[in-house]
């Protein structure tokens, strides 16, 4: 099955700093890769996704590239804002099966200070 190793947090940055949250995975086959964000007190929101090698997912200034050779899907943002403070989860997902379950990383808590 799938497993995922996500950069440990918490991560604290100043506004406008560069963000990287590392994520590597092990999987059978070719999973689809997702980043989810969970704002304080809220549920899970899809942030971005990539479904095949070399695809780049992007949303709200965040980007991640599906790197098959390194089995990685690192999340980056060039200039973070206070409103980006949240918990970020990397989640590979089985594709092309009737299950298609997601396996979540431990989550990385990001705090952005003004």
Partner 1 sequence: EPEVTQTPSHQVTQMGQEVILRCVPISNHLYFYWYRQILGQKVEFLVSFYNNEISEKSEIFDDQFSVERPDGSNFTLKIRSTKLEDSAMYFCASRDGQGSSRDTQYFGPGTRLTVL
In a 13 Å sphere around the CA of 70, the CA atoms on its Cβ side amount to 11
- Residue nearer to partner 1 on the CB measure, 12 or 81: 12
Interface with partner 1, residue 99, by CB under 8 A: yes
> 84 is written with which tokens?
């980006």
How far is the C-alpha of 16 from the C-alpha of 27, rounded, in Å? 34
Among 5, 22, 51, 58, binds partner 1 (CB under 8 A): 51
- Residue nearer to partner 1 on the CB measure, 28 or 97: 97
Question: Looking at 15-23, 39-47, 63-71, 73-81, which segment touches partner 1 (CB under 8 A)?
Answer: 39-47
How far is the C-alpha of 69 from the C-alpha of 84, rounded, in Å? 29
- Residue nearer to partner 1 on the CB measure, 32 or 80: 32
Interface with partner 1, residue 93, by CB under 8 A: yes
Closest C-alpha to 39, from 80, 4, 89, 73? 89
> 57 is written with which tokens?
């997912």
Chain-centre distance of CA 108, in angstroms?
Answer: 9
Report in angstroms how near the CB of residue 73 gets to partner 1 at its nearest: 14
Applying CB under 8 A, the residues found at the interface with partner 1 are 32, 34, 36, 42-46, 49, 51, 89, 91, 93, 95, 97-107
């Amino acid at each position: 099955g799938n497993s995922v190793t996500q950069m440990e947090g918490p991560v604290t940055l100043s506004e406008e700093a560069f963000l990287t949250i590392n994520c590597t995975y092990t999987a059978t086959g070719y999973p689809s890769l997702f980043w989810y964000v969970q704002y304080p007190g809220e549920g899970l929101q899809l942030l971005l996704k990539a479904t095949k090698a070399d695809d780049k997912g992007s949303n709200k200034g965040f980007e991640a590239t599906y790197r098959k050779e390194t089995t990685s899907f690192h999340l980056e943002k060039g200039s973070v804002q206070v409103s980006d403070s949240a918990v970020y989860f990397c989640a590979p997902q089985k594709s092309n099966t009737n299950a298609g379950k997601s396996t979540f990383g431990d989550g990385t808590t990001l705090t952005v200070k003004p």
